[in-house]
Amino acid sequence: MNRVLVIFVALVTVVAAAHAAIEINVDERDKAPTIEGWIGDEATFKGRVRLTAKATTDLFFLASDLKLDGSATLLSRDHVVLDGGDRVHLEPEIPKDVKFSVTGIKEPGTYHGSIEFW
């Protein structure tokens, strides 16, 4: 079976803009996003996280390497990318679905990693 489960176990939102913290809220259902799918030729796994800011801000998307459970296998963070660039623009009090993709998974199993927005 070639089923893959990707779990981002630690979604961290850290923002510093002009040395002042801007409050960013992550939708409760998206604090540990899970992506499921099947391995195939050029398989791309899609996920999303809903963010809401208290003020206008631009955030950078940073992902960790993905670790396969029960294995030494690591998938480079280069395979976890924000759809449409490396920045997210948020307007005050307007929720935004931030979409990202995971590629390069060759082995079935459960992978863990984290996403940060700076």
CATH level 2 (architecture), domain 3-117: Sandwich (2.60)
- For 9-36, the pLDDT digits (tens) are 544 444 444 435 778 888 888 888 888 8
Task: Name residues whose C-beta falls within 8 Å of residue 30's C-beta, 6 or more positions apart in sequence.
Answer: 11, 48, 49, 50
Whether residue 64 is predicted with pLDDT greater than 50 in this model: the reply is yes
Residue 81 and residue 86: Cα distance in Å, rounded? Answer: 7
The DSSP bridge pattern shows strands 80-82 and 96-103 to be antiparallel
The structural domains of the chain, with segments of one domain joined by +, span 3-117
Confidence (pTM): 0.83
Whether residue 114 is predicted with pLDDT greater than 60 in this model: the reply is yes
Task: Name residues whose C-beta falls within 8 Å of residue 41's C-beta, 6 or more positions apart in sequence.
Answer: none
